[in-house]
Amino acid sequence: MSKQMKFDSEDEEFFGSVGSFGVPKFDNAMHGGVPRGFLVVGFTEVGSGCELFAKQFTSPAEEPDNTILISTNESQLEIARVFKKYNWPTDIAVRTLGEEYNARVLEKELLASRYRLEGFKLPDIQRLAQTRFVDDDTQDFLTEMTNEVMAMGPYFRAVI
């Protein structure tokens, strides 16, 4: 069942009927940009410049509070460096799933590896885990990301 989205007439007047891709020549080729309310999906090959295009697509940031860049492989520092290099606005939301995965999941595995290197055997590690608070939180990055994007208001710009 499709949901009809009604945009505020003041917003339509302020923002216009299309949004910029952030690349003037591409905007011209696409008759001004992306029509409001449309979804753009792009599939690219690795090394084709898709990361730079994704950042450039977020750069118009008409409403920084409604703009998010979600990266799976770049760090916050790498992304900020590119935005500063091209003088793009840096007040948009940026989420780096690779860094989050490293912090939340890989750190636990690294700790277990350290215990093994120090001579602990698996039964010792399991016994140690039973005597401490065990975090049994399952990480679902895809659901978190989807919820974050779906919570944004009309005229949002999200790039993954």
* 13 occurs within a structural domain: no
Domain holding 68, by residue range, is: 41-159
Residue 5's pLDDT is what? Answer: 65
Does residue 15 belong to any structural domain of this protein? no
**Residue 1 within any structural domain of the chain:** no
Residue 36 lies in a domain: no
Predicted local confidence at residue 141, as pLDDT = 81
Task: Write down the pLDDT at residue 60.
Answer: 81
**12 belongs to a structural domain:** no
pLDDT (0 to 100) of residue 144: 86
Report yes or no on 23 lying in a domain.
no
Mean pLDDT per 10-residue segment, the chain (160 residues) = 67 75 85 81 83 86 84 91 92 89 75 74 69 59 85 82
Asked whether residue 128 is domain-assigned, the answer is: yes
Please count the structural domains in the chain: 1
Q: Are 160 and 67 in contact (CB under 8 A)?
A: no
In a domain, residue 134? The reply is yes
Which pLDDT does position 128 carry in this prediction?
65
